[in-house]
Amino acid sequence: MDVRKKKRKVLLMGKSGSGKSSMRSIIFSNYVAKDVRRLGATIDVEHSHVKFMGNLTLNLWDCGGQDAFMETYLASQRGNIFSDVAVMIYVFDIESREVERDLDTYNAIITALKEFSPNAYVFCLVHKLDLIQAEHRQRIYEERSALIRSRSEHFAIDTFGSSIWDQSLYKAWAGIVHRLIPNLTVIERFLQAFAKRIGAEEVILFERSTFLTVTSVSSEVGDLNPIYDRHERLSNIMKAFKHCAARNTHTTPASAGFVVMHTKTPQFNVFLGRFTDNTYIFLVVPPGEAAYNCAVLNTMLAREGFSKAAAMGHGDGFPLPAPETPDGDVSTSNSDSTRG
Partner 1 sequence: MGLRRSGKSSIASVVFHKMPPNETLFLESTTRIQKDSIHSFMDFQVWDFPGQLEYLEPSFDLEDIFGSLGALVWVIDAQDDYLDAVARLNRTILTVQQYYPNINIEVFIHKVDGLSDEYRTDTFQDIVQLISDELSDAGYENAPVHYYLTSIYDYSVFEAFSKVIQKLIPNLSTLENLINTLSNNCGFEKTYLFDVLSKIYIASDTRPVDMSCYEMCSDYIDVIVDISELYSWDHPDRKPRGEQGQEAESHVVLHDETMIHLLEMNKYLCLVSVIRNPEAKEKKGLIDMNCRTFQEALNDVFSRSWEQDQDPEPRITKASGQPDE
Q: Which residues bind partner 1 (CB under 8 A)?
A: 199, 201, 220-221, 224-227, 230, 233-234, 237-238, 240-241, 244-245, 247-249, 251, 255-270, 272, 284-292
C-beta of residue 97 within 8 angstroms of C-beta of residue 130? no
Shorter beta-carbon distance to partner 1: residue 93 or 201:
201
Residue 63 CB, shortest distance to partner 1, in Å, is 31
Q: 138: Cβ–Cβ under 8 A, 6 or more apart, which residues?
A: none
Residue 107 CB, shortest distance to partner 1, in Å, is 38
Residue 9 CB, shortest distance to partner 1, in Å, is 32
The helix/strand/coil state of 327 is coil
Shorter beta-carbon distance to partner 1: residue 113 or 200:
200
Q: 245: Cβ–Cβ under 8 A, 6 or more apart, which residues?
A: 256, 258
Shorter beta-carbon distance to partner 1: residue 287 or 328:
287
C-alpha angle 290-239-310 in degrees, rounded to nearest 5: 65
- How many C-beta atoms lie closer than 10 Å to residue 279's C-beta? 21
Element (H, E) at 296: helix 289-311
Shorter beta-carbon distance to partner 1: residue 155 or 241:
241
Shorter beta-carbon distance to partner 1: residue 91 or 256:
256
Shorter beta-carbon distance to partner 1: residue 57 or 293:
293
The helix/strand/coil state of 126 is strand
Residue 141 CB, shortest distance to partner 1, in Å, is 23
Residue 163 CB, shortest distance to partner 1, in Å, is 14
C-beta of residue 16 within 8 angstroms of C-beta of residue 67? yes
Q: Give me the amino acid identity at 111.
A: T
Shorter beta-carbon distance to partner 1: residue 141 or 271:
271
Distance (Å, whole) CA 68 – CA 151: 22
- Inter-axis angle of helices 184-198 and 289-311, nearest 10: 150
Going by C-alpha positions, the residue among 174, 91, 169 that lies closest to residue 126 is 91
Residue 34 CB, shortest distance to partner 1, in Å, is 8
Residue 302 CB, shortest distance to partner 1, in Å, is 19
